[in-house]
Amino acid sequence: MIKFSELDELGLSKVPDFEINKRVAESLGYIARIAPHYPESVELWRFETTFYDKGNKYQGNADYCNNAEQAWPIIAENKISLVPYRFNGGFWEAHDKYGTGRSVPDKKPLRAAMIVYLIAQEQRA
């Protein structure tokens, strides 16, 4: 399993969005599977028990690296900051100032924020 806290910027840039989305979903308690029609997103499943049956129930798709509606609650709850990267105009930088102190630059701001979130999760474990 990839340890995001041990990767440098180059290593982080090579991690596919699917892997990041999968790890974020798992940290939120979902079972994550590849979405057949959307290769970067994941299908979310959760084990549920009802009166009639029990098992994994489909909860929808998630693409935390590209969908602000899904990513923003995580960003806000974990106090992750997003700012334009000062050394390269095409990049954004995500900061976890009060947790890990780590910052991550990426062309996709939500992706950078999700990586910072995963690093914080690893350090809390």
Element (H, E) at 20: helix 17-27
Nearby residues of 46 by Cβ (< 8 Å), 6 or more positions away: 29, 30, 31, 56, 57, 59
Element (H, E) at 94: strand 92-95
CB 44 within 8 Å of CB 60: yes
What's the mean pLDDT when you consider all of the chain?
Answer: 83
Per-residue pLDDT tens for 9-48?
A: 767 888 899 999 999 999 998 888 887 777 778 888 877 6
- Which residue(s) pair with 95 in the sheet? 81, 103
